């Protein structure tokens, strides 16, 4: 299908992008890589009248260390994350997950900020950020605020961002040398996860087990209480609300959550 007509404006800075958002209001959408937004526009699931391009803003790209955290510009591409020596050393789970997003074309255009703002519960980077205990720095008319990953995702394709706000940077704790595991069950290599699981330092995050990426808290608590990996993994689906589609029903997704959580915990790198 063809997207509905829209206007295009290239922001000259993050401040300019905020001014444009304020000017156009709910009729505007931010565009970075476009690999989440444009397909939805072609299907008429989204019909913004204005696209504000922030993909070429240098101030929203790049990766640097800041104390015990990595700071990543929201317009940094998946390919850059996957190839970054700094990310691979200090947050290898994030680098690994970025390398699994879509195909090479998507990874070279899609951005971490775009993936997080899109808030697809089956996507790789929201699950990875949740497992890592990361956060985002959000810019708005009232300044900057920090939003933890657990508070960012509000519902199916929904975030807690207020109108006129944008994700500017992503903050991820540096964990060099820490064991981590990442599992994703898909029909084909480039597909969204039917179910996914990521584990690091006693934290377990799940993809596609509800309207948002979720923590497997019952399994985490069991691990903290001395349970074996097998015992804890049996609790991974507790408290989840998986949907049903042509790929899997709820029971099968709960089974996958238990299996993948165990694999993520047992096969840590």
Query: What whole-number distance in Å separates Cα of residue 230 and Cα of residue 223?
Result: 10
- Kindly state whether residues 28 and 73 are assigned to the same domain: no
Residue 269 CB neighbour total at 10 angstroms: 11
Mean pLDDT over residues 52-78, rounded? 95
Q: What are phi and psi of 32, to 5 degrees?
A: -120, -90
- Kindly state whether residues 131 and 237 are assigned to the same domain: no
Residue where a domain stops, chosen among 154, 173, 192:
173
Q: Is residue 2 included in any domain, yes or no?
A: no
- Kindly state whether residues 138 and 226 are assigned to the same domain: no
Query: What whole-number distance in Å separates Cα of residue 44 and Cα of residue 11?
Result: 24
Q: Is residue 258 included in any domain, yes or no?
A: yes
Q: Enumerate the H helices of the chain as residue ranges.
A: 14-24, 37-42, 78-83, 85-90, 92-98, 104-109, 112-118, 124-132, 149-152, 217-224, 229-233, 250-266
Provide the token pair at 218: 């019952």
Residue 26 CB neighbour total at 10 angstroms: 10
- Kindly state whether residues 95 and 169 are assigned to the same domain: yes
Please tell me the total count of domains within the chain.
3
Residue where a domain stops, chosen among 148, 173, 198:
173
- Kindly state whether residues 31 and 85 are assigned to the same domain: no
Mean pLDDT over residues 58-87, rounded? 97
- Kindly state whether residues 70 and 169 are assigned to the same domain: yes
Buried b (16+ CB within 10 A) or exposed e, 79-102: bbbbebeebbebbbbbbbbbebbb
Residue where a domain stops, chosen among 20, 36, 53:
53
pLDDT at 78: 96
Q: Is residue 221 included in any domain, yes or no?
A: yes
CATH code of the domain containing 70: 3.30.465.10
Q: Which domain holds residue 208?
A: 180-266
Q: Sorting pLDDT into bands at 50, 70 and 90, what band is 43?
A: confident
Using alpha carbons only, give the angle 36, 63, 189 rounded to the nearest 5 degrees. Answer: 40
- Kindly state whether residues 63 and 169 are assigned to the same domain: yes
- Kindly state whether residues 43 and 69 are assigned to the same domain: no
Of the candidates 265, 206, 200, 197, the residue with the CA atom closest to the CA atom of residue 241: 206
- Kindly state whether residues 87 and 150 are assigned to the same domain: yes
Q: Sorting pLDDT into bands at 50, 70 and 90, what band is 93?
A: very high
pLDDT at 44: 82
Query: What whole-number distance in Å separates Cα of residue 220 and Cα of residue 222?
Result: 5
- Which percentage of the chain shows pLDDT scores above 70? 100
Q: Is residue 145 included in any domain, yes or no?
A: yes
Mean pLDDT over residues 32-37, rounded? 80
pLDDT at 31: 86
CATH code of the domain containing 239: 3.30.390.50
Q: Is residue 152 included in any domain, yes or no?
A: yes
pLDDT digits (tens, 9 = 90+) for 169-223: 999 999 999 999 999 999 887 788 999 999 999 999 999 999 999 999 999 999 9
Over the chain, what is the mean pLDDT?
93
Q: Is residue 198 included in any domain, yes or no?
A: yes
Q: Is residue 122 included in any domain, yes or no?
A: yes
**What order do you get walking across the sheet with 143-148 strand by strand?**
63-66, 69-73, 166-173, 135-140, 143-148
CATH code of the domain containing 48: 3.30.43.10
- Kindly state whether residues 72 and 167 are assigned to the same domain: yes
- Kindly state whether residues 77 and 161 are assigned to the same domain: yes
User: 259 in the Ramachandran plot: left (φ > 0), alpha (ψ -120 to 50) or beta?
Assistant: alpha
């Amino acid at each position: 299908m063809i997207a509905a007509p829209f206007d295009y404006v290239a922001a000259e800075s993050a401040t300019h992008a905020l001014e444009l958002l304020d000017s156009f209001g709910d009729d505007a959408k931010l565009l970075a890589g476009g690999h989440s937004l444009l397909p939805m526009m072609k299907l008429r699931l989204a019909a913004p009248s204005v696209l504000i391009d922030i993909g070429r803003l240098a101030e929203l790209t790049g990766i640097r260390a800041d104390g015990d955290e990595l700071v990543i510009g929201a317009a940094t591409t998946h390919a850059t994350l996957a190839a970054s020596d700094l990310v691979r050393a200090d947050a290898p789970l994030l680098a690994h997950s970025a390398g699994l997003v879509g195909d090479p074309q998507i990874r070279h255009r899609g951005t971490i900020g775009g993936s997080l703002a899109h808030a697809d519960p089956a996507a790789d980077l929201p699950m990875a950020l949740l497992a890592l205990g990361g956060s985002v720095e959000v810019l708005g008319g009232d300044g900057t605020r920090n939003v933890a990953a657990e508070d960012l995702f509000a519902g199916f394709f929904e975030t807690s961002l207020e109108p006129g706000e944008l994700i500017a940077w992503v903050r991820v704790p540096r964990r060099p040398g820490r064991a981590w595991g990442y599992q994703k069950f898909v029909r084909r290599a480039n597909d969204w996860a039917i179910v996914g699981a990521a584990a690091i330092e006693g934290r377990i995050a799940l993809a596609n087990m509800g309207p948002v990426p979720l923590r497997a808290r019952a399994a985490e608590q069991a691990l903290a209480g001395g349970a074996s990996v097998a015992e804890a993994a049996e609790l991974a689906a507790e408290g989840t609300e998986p949907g049903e589609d042509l790929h899997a029903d709820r029971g099968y997704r709960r089974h996958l959550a238990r299996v993948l959580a165990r694999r993520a915990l047992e096969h840590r790198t």
